[in-house]
Structures are given as C-alpha cells and as structure tokens.
A and B are shown apart, each in its own frame.
Chain A
C-alpha cells in the first residue's frame, strides 16, 4: 500500500528543549495508525510537528510532497485535519459557525450545505444544537464538534489527539465507532494518538510506540497488542 504520510528522522524543539529525537513512521493510505506512549513520550508533539506548530527538523512528506516548514494553515489546506488536544472549540461561536469556519475558503454554497448534512449524519446530536454557543456543549459534544469540523475540511488525513480525553466510557465507544465509519465511508486515513491503548489498538491497523521522543516499536496492531512489553506497560495485564 502506498503511504500517504511519510515521516523520517523527525526532531522537534520547544525553544532550546528537544522533545523528539528520531521519529519515523509511515501512514498507509486509507488506514488507521495509532501512536502509543506514556505521558511526555512525544505523541502530541509529533502531531504538532506534522502541522508545523513546533520547530522541527527531518522529513515530512504528504502524498510525496515535502510539507515540513510550510505554514500551518497551508498544511491544513493540503487537506490534513488536526483535531487538537483539548478540542480547540471556538467557544463564543455557535455550533453552526464552528463547522462553517472549516469551509470558509470554499465558494460553492451548495457544496458546503451538502457537506454539513453529511457531517450531521455522523453526529445527529450536533444538528439539534446547531445554534447553541459551542462553549456550552458538554465535553463529549465538543469532541464530536471537533471531529465534525475536521470532516468539513474534506480531509485525506485526520490527526486525532486523544479523542477519549476526559469523556465517559460510553461516549468514548460511540466516538470510536464513528471514527471507524468515517475511515471506511469517507476514505479518510487516520493518525490517532491515544492514552487508552486497548481502544486504540482495536481501532487501528498499525501501531507505533513512542518512548522519550523515539519510536521504540512498530508493527500491525495485532502484533503490537501481543507484545509482552506493550501488554505490561500500556494494556496493564
């Protein structure tokens, strides 16, 4: 399978502090890949590095094109959608505006309308709250809104930073079900960062394990799942 995103020798820095040392991975077109690791291993930084939100060095190729060093908004316009940690809700805007903002460069009004309907098919709950201020939504709804907004970008690749964070288990299951559907029906490739390793490994086809800014293990999820170290460290049995 051709890889959609190719990362090689990626380093990242916050000021003088280096937090990624040598991260490399391939994301196959159409697949779901997960990045696992403890707190501070560099998972979030890796996602931020892809979108040039931290200082980086190395190679990042998207669809064969070198995107490292491009401005964040231009990378996004290559149709990479980043659902950030903490969901990035525009709290003072309405749900409707939160979604439309992702389509603001598009000229075809009908297209945007259709897109909204398609997104609401995945998240009917958002449609009920369409005129509500987004800051008043529950945590789960805000996470749905963040994913829905990412979908409005018609992404080829979706980067998800801990979509389960702070949510009730039932909501998490619902969101993960929707993610699988999005992957299958919209042909969106996904790179998922998760603390909940068991869930992530169930959803993903490939997994990479990060430790202190380096990839220490990788492979198909089934293989990684059964690795003894992974089981002990991340799955807890």
Chain B
C-alpha cells in the first residue's frame, strides 16, 4: 500500500511538470493554432539561465523569479522578432521555424554551458517537508509550486481585464480588434506567459532529471500527450491531462512490478512507461478525438 501511495505521489509530481508544459503548449495553440515544438528547449534554456544566476551567487528563489521574468521577455521577443514576420506564412514554414528554434536553443545551451550533466539544487528543505514514506520534500514542493502557478494563471485569465482580452483575442482575433484589443500584443504576451510557465517546469524538474541540454525532450512528449488527452483547446483540460498522464505512467510501471513479483513474468516495467503512455493517448484520441475535456468543433456548412 505504501508503495502504491508513493507511486501516486511521484506521479503527481511528474504530472505537475507535464501539466505546466502542456499548459504552455495550449496557451500558444489556442491563440495561433500552432504547436510550439521548441517549448521544451525554451524551458531547458531558462533552466540554464537560473543555474547561471545561482552560480553567480543568487539564492534559489531570487534566481527563480528572475528567470521567470527573463523567460517572459524571451518569449515576447521570439514572437515579435521571429514569428511576427511569418504572420501569414503557411503552416509548414512555421513548423520549420519551431524545429529550427528547438535546434538553436539546444545547441546554444550546449555551447554556453557544455553538454555535461549538471546537478541542480532543490530549494525544499529535506527535514521539515514532505510526508515520510509517501512523498519526498522535492516532489511535494514541485506539486505545491506548480499548483500555485496554475492558480495564479487561472485568476489572471479569469478575473483580470488583460486576461479577458487575451482570451478574446485567442477566440476571435478579428472581433477582438473591433473592440480595441491590440491582438498582436496579446499573442506576444501569450508567448511570454508560455515561456514563463515552461521555465517554472524546467526549474522544478531539473533536480529530478538533472540539468543537460536534452533534459526536456521526453518531458515535451509527455506534455504533448497530456495536452492531447485533456483536449488541446482547453487549458484546464491540459492541466488535468498532465496529472492523468503522470499518475498513469507510474501506475503502469507499478502494476508491471507487482505482476512480476507475483508471477515472475516480466511484462512491463519502467522502461515501457512512455510507450504505454502513448498507447493510452492513442486510445483516448481514437475514442474521443477532441480529448477528454476538449470542445468538439462543429462547423456549420
């Protein structure tokens, strides 16, 4: 039983990370209809920035806040300088740009900080935090921090005029212009926010996966899966999808271990987690193409 709870708890922690990255993907998707393949690498790059800041002597949380702000600026700049000129470009061109960004961030990180794996600190005190035997201090910390971030974003989008303007711009850009919303800036803000949320995910996960230029590769896949499971057009769904995928992958490995223990037959284990997660995604999408919480788009003809 204790092992089961442990698995759920660590699934929650992973899920929180997936949820953040999935949310970043969805934020850009709902306003532009594009999936930003470079989202993971941007988060990785942000994590390196925070590592650098800490290396220069800043405390974890100061570096954290500063990195989130820097990432915001980075996201806004990428939108304004790189994607703005591609406003009317065909989808494939934009995908190429995303892949290019992915490669650029990856190799820049390698060039600046080398490909050597670095340890990344955890800000959560080992003694006072966590529930003994169930969830470790860092895992609990990750869940708490991401929930705070998600909560703040929810409040921002739901209750502030600027959040409302961003939602309106995403839903109907032409009409948003007709009520005076500066839609171009809303897109840039969306990029900034997505980069910030990604940075939070990167900084939180780096202690677990260690810091290296390819650290977000697998996570981006999981996040993408989460977003699809939850419904790519629904931010809340993406967050739920993140937690579902996070817990599911651990459950699969746990079930595999239990079966092996009971019967001695190895069917499935840690190595197959990703495969199983993706199979589940495909299954969900076959049965419910819009995702669990997605809106089915019906076009009148």
Q: Which of A78-102 contact B (CB under 8 A)?
A: 81-82, 84, 88-93, 97, 100-102
- The stretch among A69-77, A122-130, A205-213 that forms the contact with chain B is A69-77
Given A104-B161, A104-B162: A73 touches B168 (CB 8 Å cut-off): no
A51 within 8 A of B: yes
What separation, in Å, do the CA atoms of A72 and B175 have in the docked complex? Answer: 10
Contacts of A81 in B (CB 8 A): 178
Of all chain B residues, which has the CB nearest A105? B180
Given A101-B165, A104-B162: A76 touches B177 (CB 8 Å cut-off): yes
Given A88-B174, A90-B171, A92-B171: A77 touches B180 (CB 8 Å cut-off): yes
0/1 interface trace, chain A 200-236, chain B, CB 8 Å (1 if under): 0000000000000000000000000000000000000
In the bound complex, do residue B175 and residue A90 qualify as a contact, i.e. CB atoms below 8 Å apart? yes
A153 within 8 A of B: yes
In the bound complex, do residue B183 and residue A73 qualify as a contact, i.e. CB atoms below 8 Å apart? yes
Q: Which of B5-58 contact A (CB under 8 A)?
A: none
Contacts of B1 in A (CB 8 A): none
Given A51-B178, A82-B178, A101-B179: A88 touches B161 (CB 8 Å cut-off): no
A53 within 8 A of B: yes
In the bound complex, do residue B177 and residue A73 qualify as a contact, i.e. CB atoms below 8 Å apart? yes
A43 within 8 A of B: no
B102 within 8 A of A: no
What separation, in Å, do the CA atoms of A101 and B179 have in the docked complex? Answer: 7
What separation, in Å, do the CA atoms of A80 and B142 have in the docked complex? Answer: 49
Number of interface residues of A (CB under 8 A): 26
Given A73-B182, A73-B183: A101 touches B176 (CB 8 Å cut-off): yes
Interface class of chain B by DSSP:
helix
Contacts of B164 in A (CB 8 A): 93, 97, 100-101, 104
What separation, in Å, do the CA atoms of A88 and B172 have in the docked complex? Answer: 8
Of all chain A residues, which has the CB nearest B233? A92
Contacts of A68 in B (CB 8 A): none
Contacts of A73 in B (CB 8 A): 177-178, 180-183
In the bound complex, do residue A88 and residue B180 qualify as a contact, i.e. CB atoms below 8 Å apart? no
A149 within 8 A of B: yes
The distance from the CB of B156 to the nearest CB of chain A, in whole angstroms, is 13
In the bound complex, do residue B165 and residue A104 qualify as a contact, i.e. CB atoms below 8 Å apart? yes
Q: Mind listing 15 A-B residue pairs with CB under 8 Å?
A: A51-B178, A73-B178, A73-B183, A76-B178, A76-B179, A90-B172, A91-B172, A93-B164, A97-B164, A101-B165, A102-B180, A103-B161, A105-B180, A149-B179, A153-B180
Extra contacts, 14 of them, besides A76-B177, A101-B165, A101-B176 (Cβ < 8 A), are: A53-B177, A73-B180, A76-B178, A76-B180, A82-B178, A84-B178, A90-B176, A91-B172, A92-B167, A101-B179, A102-B180, A104-B179, A152-B179, A153-B179
Q: Which 5 A-B pairs rank lowest in CB-CB distance, beginning with the nearest?
A: A88-B175, A104-B161, A72-B177, A76-B180, A102-B179
A residues with a Cβ closer than 8 A to B are: 51, 53, 71-73, 76-77, 81-82, 84, 88-93, 97, 100-105, 149, 152-153
B residues with a Cβ closer than 8 A to A are: 161-162, 164-165, 167-168, 171-172, 174-183, 295
